[in-house]
Every structure is written in structure tokens, then in C-alpha cells.
Chains A and B, each alone.
Chain A
Amino acid sequence: EPEVTQTPSHQVTQMGQEVILRCVPISNHLYFYWYRQILGQKVEFLVSFYNNEISEKSEIFDDQFSVERPDGSNFTLKIRSTKLEDSAMYFCASSPLVGYGYTFGSGTRLTVV
């Protein structure tokens, strides 16, 4: 069964450093998403991406965050200057069409120290 692949599985970074989280969505999917889950809290929406542009973003997704699909297969989330409160599990997801459900990746656990 096709999978969404995320790398790395775990990243530790110092506060103020830039991080890039990588995702390879399912190849024929058109919609891409990033979600995050702070330990003990709900999974929450960050951003959706379609046709090479952001279609929607949450209030969490401020100027410190950016997304890119640089080469038609990878989908990346960049955090420019990490804060302690960015520590969370970050999930990438993809969907073939709106309303057809998501396939999630296994997540990247980001720890900011």
C-alpha cells in the first residue's frame, strides 16, 4: 500500500536554529498538509498546499514557518528560528482529492532544547 514517508524520524535542535522537515507524499496525490501534535494535546492543522501554493494556513503558521515542494516529489516544512514551544510531533499528510481522506506519515518528533 502506498505510504507517506517522513524524514528524519527524530530531530533535536537548539533554540533559534532553522530546521527542515521532509516528506514524500503519495505520488498521485494532489493535496498536501502539515499537522502537529504537542505532547498530550490534540493533533492540529498547520497548513494545506495545492497546485504549488498554500491554500490555507492556521494562526499557528506564522512568518517563522514556510512550506515548499521543490522538485515535484518532496514536500518540506521549514521553521526558521525554532522556539521551545515548537517541540512537537509533526505529521505530513496527502490526499488525492478533497473529501477522500488523508494518508498520514509516521511523523517527525522535533525537540527544541
Chain B
Amino acid sequence: KQEVTQIPAALSVPEGENLVLNCSFTDSAIYNLQWFRQDPGKGLTSLLLIQSSQREQTSGRLNASLDKSSGRSTLYIAASQPGDSATYLCACENFNKFYFGSGTKLNVKP
């Protein structure tokens, strides 16, 4: 069974800092990996989808990479802003279902 781990569990940074969130997974036979943002008590907003044949995806200040062989993905956030404060979830799709990590709770201080 796929196990997804996210490190760190929480992160607090000053505004403007570049930061990296880490995700690791145990089964490399994934169809894709998706990063989500979750605000408190809210739904899951898709940030980036990396399909299994891809190495990275970029959207604005966000860049996600995927290394299937090592079972790792990173989400890079450039020039962080207070509005980036949320929980970031990593999820791997195996056999038509997603396995989620526990998330990294990010706080960006003004």
C-alpha cells in the first residue's frame, strides 16, 4: 500500500522567503502526483499536477518536481506572501485512487 509522507509538518517563514516543501512516497508506480492547497475548514484546491512521465511543472511562483526513482517530490514557492499561508497536501495516484500525505502547514509572516 502506498504511504505518503510530508516534511516538515509545519513551517513558519517571513514574507519574501523562498521555501521548499517535501513529499516522499513508497511505491514508485504512480500515474501522477498532485499538489493541493487547503485553507482551514475548506476544500482542496489543485496547484500542480505532474504526470508520471514528467519531471516538473510550474505555475507562477510555484514549481513542483518529481523523481519517481527516489520516491520524492518537492514544491518550491518563490517569494512567499502572507496569502500563501495554508496547508499544502501532496497526493499520489496509484490504481485509480489518491493517497494523501498529512500536509505541511505553512505560515508566512508579514
Tally of chain A residues near chain B (CB < 8 A) = 24
* In-complex Cβ contact of A91 among B44, B49, B99 (8 A): B44
Is there an interface contact between B51 and A99, defined as CB atoms closer than 8 Å? Answer: yes
Q: Within the assembled complex, what's the spacing in Å between the Cα atoms of A48 and B93? A: 13
Chain B interface category by residue count: 20 to 34
Which residues of A in the span 77-113 have a Cβ within 8 Å of any Cβ on B? 89, 91, 98-107, 109
Is there an interface contact between A107 and B43, defined as CB atoms closer than 8 Å? Answer: yes
Taking the closest CB of chain B, its distance from the CB of A96, in whole angstroms, is: 12
Does B46 belong to the interface (CB within 8 Å)?
yes
Is there an interface contact between A56 and B97, defined as CB atoms closer than 8 Å? Answer: yes
Is there an interface contact between A56 and B44, defined as CB atoms closer than 8 Å? Answer: no
Q: Within the assembled complex, what's the spacing in Å between the Cα atoms of A56 and B93? A: 14
Q: Which residues of B contact A (CB under 8 A)?
A: 31-32, 34, 36, 41-46, 49, 51-52, 89, 91, 93, 95-102
